[in-house]
Structures are given as C-alpha cells and as structure tokens.
Structure 1
C-alpha cells in the first residue's frame, strides 16, 4: 500500500462519479480526507452521509470551497472544477499541489504489487466515447482483459484499485481531466479532432488545445492523429514522447505509409505492417462499422490504430468492430415512417459534432436548437445548405440558427417553434414530417446543449424517439 498518503491531509474537491471514489480510496490509504462540494442537494447529502460513516469529513454548500481547509497538503479535484476557483488560487499561493482523479489513478497503478495495466488513451472534441467503446470491443475480441473507463462514466480509480485485473485499459479523457493530469504517460494515445468547445472553462482555444495535447506527453509507442485535422498533427509535433514513439495518422482517404485509411470500401493499415512503403493490411469493411457514417469510420480507424499499436491482430479489429453497438442518441436510427428515416443524434451538442452528423445524409429536415454556449452557426449552415430540405428550430437560442439560415440558406423553409417546454419536441417532429419527402432523413442534431428544455441530451433524444413512435402509431 502506498505509504505517501498515510496521515496526509487531502482535500477532495467535488463529489459525483470522480470525487466519491477518490475520497474512499484516499481514506482507505490512510489519508485524512476532507471533501468540499458546492452543491447541497439531496444527492450530495446522501453521498456525504455515506462518506461520513467511513470517517471522511464533508462540507457542502457554496462557501465550502471558498478557501483552503486548514492543514491541506494535497487537493484532488473533480474534473469539472474550473482552474480559477478560489480553492485553487489559495492552493497556488500556499504551494499545495492539485491533482485530478486521473492523476491520482495514474499514480496508484500497480497497487499491492499487481502489474500496472497500460493505458490506451483517447481525447478530442467529439467521438471520444464511441472510439473508446470501439477500442474496448476490439481489445476484447483479441482476448485481452480490458474495460472502457475514464470520462465514459466508469471511474478510473475503481478500475485501478478494484479487485479485477486488466491487461490494458481503454481510457476516455476530457480536456478537464487532462488539465489536472501532469504525470500521465500513456502507452499510446489519440486526439480525434479539435474544435472550439468549453472555452469558458479553458479561457482560450490555445489553452483548450494545449490541455488536449497533454495526452501525447510521454507516449511510448504511437501518437495517433487525424490527417484531416492539422491541429491534431501539430499537437503530436509539439509533444515530448519516448524515443521510438511514432506518429500514426488516420484518414478517410487512401493512407500514406505510416497511416490507416480507406481503400475501395476497406479499412486498411499501412502503419503496423512490414515494409509500409509497399504493403497494407486489410482490417475491416466499411459495412463492419455501425453506423457507417464518415465521422464514425474515422472513429473506427482511430480505435484500430491504438489497438494495432498494442499488437492486436487485424482479425480482432474486424471482429471487435462488428460486435460494437453504439450508445443511444449517437446518430441512432429510430424508425422509418412513410419512406422517411428518423435519426436521433441528440449527442451532437456542438457545431463540430453536428457538422459530422449533417454530412452523413443527402437530404435532411434538420431539428436543431437549445443552448448555444456561445457558439456561432454561419459556417455550419453554409456547409450544409445544399443538404437541407427544411429546418425546425426549438430552444432558447434558436434565433441564432434561424439568422444563420436566413444568411446562408434562404431557400430552406424554416419552422420556428416559440416554446421551450418539453412538449415542443412532439410538435417539432410533426412539423418535420410535414416538410419531409420520401427518401429524406429527419435528423435531430441540435448543435446546442439541452438544459434549457431537458435534463440532458439523453432525455432530449428520448423525447424525439417517443415523438417518432407516435407518428408511426
């Protein structure tokens, strides 16, 4: 058991899926743990009561993190806490280190002398969860003991300190988590794409990109990047990696030596083969990827690149992709009604994700809107204008999308629903049905967050699916 934590005064910032495991693990290692949490709702009180039974001190409410608890020698923070919080300002002034739960998990690998499972890590603005789940499916098809962990909802701390042993972990990391993970050194890692997101947290696009780029630091075998997104390659160039670590690109086109790509409907590897100049290894067919939308093919190639870097066979890549089923609300086909396909991509909560979603279909009635989070929509609308049969707008910031449509797609009929109640989704689907023609796709790809109308994007997608089912009833 690591002795460095015994008797140490550690403050855990935040409860939730990362803070609670951190508090439990640290207490189990002999630390004196104090948890501070801004929220004081019923869920937080239940979590606090459970921790207090163990002997952990918990402080709830807005003032709990106004300053540094007395005696604090280390802070372990939940990833969502912004760096400008007074707690962290006080820590900097006092010289107290701040770790995230990922940093703590990394330092606790090999607990009790067990072998430390290597990490294959994934980040990016969009596609992280799908790619990590694909990767875990491929690793499982290769017969490896693995799990999809991290920002995906399964605590890394639970994976690292639990009873189950793993050969390798497929790790999803957000920019928040990477910000607080200075010593992380993955076996191999991928940055899928970079687009403006969470800039209110990071302060600038440059800071956001820099935090994403931390995932490449110290990589041992491969830094996987997106050939179509130059910013990801730039992060590889700037990274300080181990000697012999390779840059491996993925592309939807024909791959150059050292890359993975697509040739005549086949996913191929020209990176992890002998004589890359002349040879390529067939991995899978496009039809093996579910769904076979362009951005999802890119996710599959990134997952395959990381798996191949770990020595997984081509057959396992194929079998893992065939076995993979995406989570709900990610470009999910709900139903066909009167020759029109209805697709739920409620997870498309920003313009970058929505751009990929719109690119997957030829003729679209687009349901969009919600909380824009400071986004602008001109580039998105201009790029998709030729594909739009019509648009139905919902949510608090729908006017921003309506104005972009007026500027860049004035020929597209627009229905503006002046309501933000949850029942608006049924009306939106009914209006979309009126605009659609056989062969069209009615696509929920909001390009906005959901919290103005729904608890989360899952609830928004559920409302869409229920409305579609009512059409076909």
Structure 2
C-alpha cells in the first residue's frame, strides 16, 4: 500500500516511538491534511500533542472498538498484531500495516538486501554495508538496526542494506515488492510472547522467504530449519558449506580457495566471524567480486552491546553483550571466553523460553560464577542449582543488575571477566537492550555515551 492510497480513508497510527514518529512524518509529507488518530501511551501523548497538528487526534485507549473504527492502522513494529484487540479489529475489517511495508511500496525499484535471523542480523547488515561502501557503492544502512526506513523515504542510494526483525518480516511480504536479496542467518526460538508461540515465530520470520519471495535467498546451510526449506520462487545461495563461503577453523574459504585468516577481523567469536560468510554470499548475489572485498572486513568497527569489551577495572574486564536475548546467544558468548575466568550475568524479562539446553551445555564450558537476575532469574537459578554442584561453578542470585555486578565483582576477587549476556529481553526496568547496556557500562565505570553509538547508519559514501 502506497501512502497516497491512504487518502480518503479512516487512518490511525498505533505507537509513538521512533518508528511511529517516522510514519507520521512520512504520511504528513505526502498527505498534509489527512485526518489522523494516534494511539499511544499516556507518557507519549503530551509529546505528540505538542506537534501542533490540528488534523491529529491523540488517544491512549487502543481498544478493539476504537481500532475497528479505522480502515487502516499504521502500526509500530513493537506492537503485536496478535494482541486480542488487534485480532478483533482485523476480523472487523481493519487493515494493519507497518512503516516497512509503506516504504517498500513507495520504493519498488530499490535494490534491497534484507537481513534477518534470530541472532547476528545487526552485525551482518552493518558488515554488508561496510564492505559495499568500501567497494565504492552508495549504500544505505537502515531498518531495525536503529534507523527506520521511512526516515529515508526521500533519499537515494544504489543499494539498501536493511535489517528486519521478526516483527517486520511480514511487512515486506505484505508490501507486494520482492527484495532483490534476502539473507537469513539462523532460526531458533525468540520473542515468543509477541508472536504467541514458537511455531508462529518461525512462520513470521520465514515469511520474508516464503511470502516475500526474494529473487535470491542467501541461507545458512548449518541451520536445520533453513536447510529443510523449499523456495520454488527464489534462487537459493548457501553459506556455511564447503562449496560456498565457509570457515575452516579461523580461515575463510570460498569453495576450496583460501581467502584470509579471519582472526584479524574485529568480530569476537567464531560464530560472529561466520556472519562474514553470509555477507560475502550476499555480495556475490548482487553480482560483485566478494573475494576482493573480503579482506576489507579487517577495518569493520563492531557494533555496541554485542560482545563489546568495555575495558578493565582493577583486574576485571567488562563485556557488554546486552543484545543477548536467548539462552543460545549466552552460550555463544561463553564460548568466546573459553579458558578464562568468567562471571556471567543471566536473566531478564520472562518470555517462557526453555533454558534446559543451556543447563545441559553449560557443563562443557563452565564459568566460574553465574549470577541470575530479573523476572526469570529465579527460574534459571532453580534449573542451574543441580548443575552448579556437579560442574563446580558458583551460583548466585541478585535482585537487579546493580546487585548482580557487585556480586560478580566480589566473587571474581580482582581476576576475570564480568560478562553481561543475559539471554533474555530487558523489558521491565529498561526500555530496551541499549538502555540495559548503558546502565551496565555506568556500573562498570565507563562512559555509556562513548560505547553506545552505531557507526555508519544512513547513506554513504
């Protein structure tokens, strides 16, 4: 649906975060007189009203009855379409669209590379943009990584590197515009509360492929769900297997051809450097010489909150992996520091994800200390209590992040790594994972403003 098609319709916005504000500005740029109703929180209502838009009504009760009064609701990504009020309104005929779908409909000829996956999508998208720019291509870095597409509605780029969350993948599928390339790094359970269960999460995530029908799909051969897919409308390119881009130890290969040693790339962990294989396969899918660009990954600046070493204080190194919102991600983080004395901080918002696999695996890479915290902290603590006795790590529980850092610091006694890799979302005490990561930096004694910015957002060169 194009923005012009909103004219003459009853239209509402739902959400006034950055995505919601971007949708508002985009609609107003094309339809300055269109009556709009905004549904938002009470805290956001004052800010929205301050815009001084006489054609904008602001309400705080997004009930099924009120949503049903509109033909179209432009919804922010964080609001689940599976909420009861949204399902009722949809049944009554209200159409829900996202800002991502609006952008794609407005820019059908844009040469897009859409990147998704449970983990690694931000790093993959940023690394893709970095290498394309190094190759002299005017490239946009945007999407879920921190810059809504609609903020770049009037801008031009040769290539668009777009990160999509599972909240946005159906947006692309519903836009009617096929991405040029779609990259999927991996699939495992996350955001189950938003999606209403694991099956729907997987279906929504894979909608980028199954319904979006990209011209070329770049897929991880090591992921069982992806390996089982049949995509008759897309050409499949695989990474992570020996006939394509893959790692042998730390060495990068294209088929049988050695390219370079990836230990020089500033990506902590072999799993992170594996994202380079996805990027190079995508660059090849665009028709460029990926092998010549691959060594330029050495100049890549890692993203904040992703296994980010903040520095050391009094013999203890502090690592910010606040982006970690699944047990799988926490295990991968532990593997990066294998052989070192680690205190890992676990827990946050409880989405009902099963931590049993984590409990089984932690014995093979045992930390010195585990500190549980947050809403699901007690559940994780109970699950690990038996494992702690047999594996020999110290298990503690904290009421909040501040107490968790203090307990970890005391337990390490001046030697080791405090690793914030919570394996759970930050909702509750924090707005998002960046807010949590910034708090961790302050508690560790570092300036959060220095460590928090994402380099390269927007369009360049």
TM normalised by structure 1 equals 0.83
1:447-466 to structure 2, matched below 5 A, reads 447-466=423-442
Does residue 311 of the first structure (1) align with residue 310 of the second (2)?
Answer: no
The equivalent of 2:248 in structure 1 is 263
Deviation larger for 459-468 or 399-408? 459-468
Report the CA distance shift for 1:96/1:69 in structure 2 as closer, same or farther (over 3 A): closer
Give the counterpart of 1:377 among 334, 355, 374: 355
Normalised by the size of structure 2, how large is the TM-score?
0.85
Tell me what 1:413 maps to: 393
Question: Partner of 2:451 in structure 1?
Answer: none
* 2:458 alignment partner in structure 1: none
For the 8 Å contact 1:370–1:449, the answer to whether it is kept is yes
Q: Is residue 83 of structure 1 aligned with residue 74 of structure 2?
A: no
CA RMSD across the alignment: 2.7
State which of 198, 201, 208 in structure 2 corresponds to 1:208: 201
Return closer, same or farther for 1:331/1:358 CA change in 2, 3 Å cut-off.
same
d(CA) in 1 for partners of 2:205, 2:127: 20
Match of 1:151 among 129, 134, 144: 144
Which segments of 5 or more consecutive residues in structure 1 lack a partner in the other structure?
111-115, 271-278
1:141 paired to 2:127: no
Q: Pick from 125, 129, 142 the counterpart of residue 118 of structure 2.
A: 125
Once residues 199 and 136 of structure 1 are traced to their aligned partners in structure 2, the CA distance between those partners, rounded to angstroms, is: 30
Structure 1 residues 88 and 367, CA gap change in structure 2 (3 angstroms): closer
Supply the distance in 2 between the matched residues of 1:320 and 1:48 (Cα, whole angstroms): 47
Alignment of 1:61 with 2:60, yes or no, is yes
Report the alpha carbon displacement of residue 150 of structure 1 after superposing the two structures with TM: 1.2
* Post-superposition CA distance 1:400-422 (Å, at most 9, x none): 222222233423332424433x5
Q: CA deviation at 1:169?
A: 0.5
1:16-415, aligned counterparts within 5 Å?
16-30=17-31, 32-41=34-43, 43-50=44-51, 52-53=52-53, 55-63=54-62, 66-68=65-67, 70=69, 72-85=70-83, 88-109=86-107, 116-159=109-152, 161-162=153-154, 164-181=155-172, 182=174, 183-216=176-209, 217-235=211-229, 237=230, 239-242=231-234, 245=235, 247-251=236-240, 255-257=241-243, 259-263=244-248, 265-270=250-255, 280=257, 282=259, 284-314=260-290, 317-318=293-294, 320-336=296-312, 341-363=317-339, 364-387=342-365, 388-410=367-389, 411-415=391-395
- Give the distance between the partners of 1:344 and 1:74, measured in 2 at CA: 40
Unmatched segments (≥5 aa) in structure 2: 447-461
The size of the alignment, in residue pairs, is 437
Q: CA deviation at 1:221?
A: 4.2
8 Å contact 1:37–1:60 — kept in the other structure? yes
Question: Residues 218, 400 of structure 1: CA spacing in aligned structure 2 closer, same or farther, 3 A cutoff?
Answer: closer
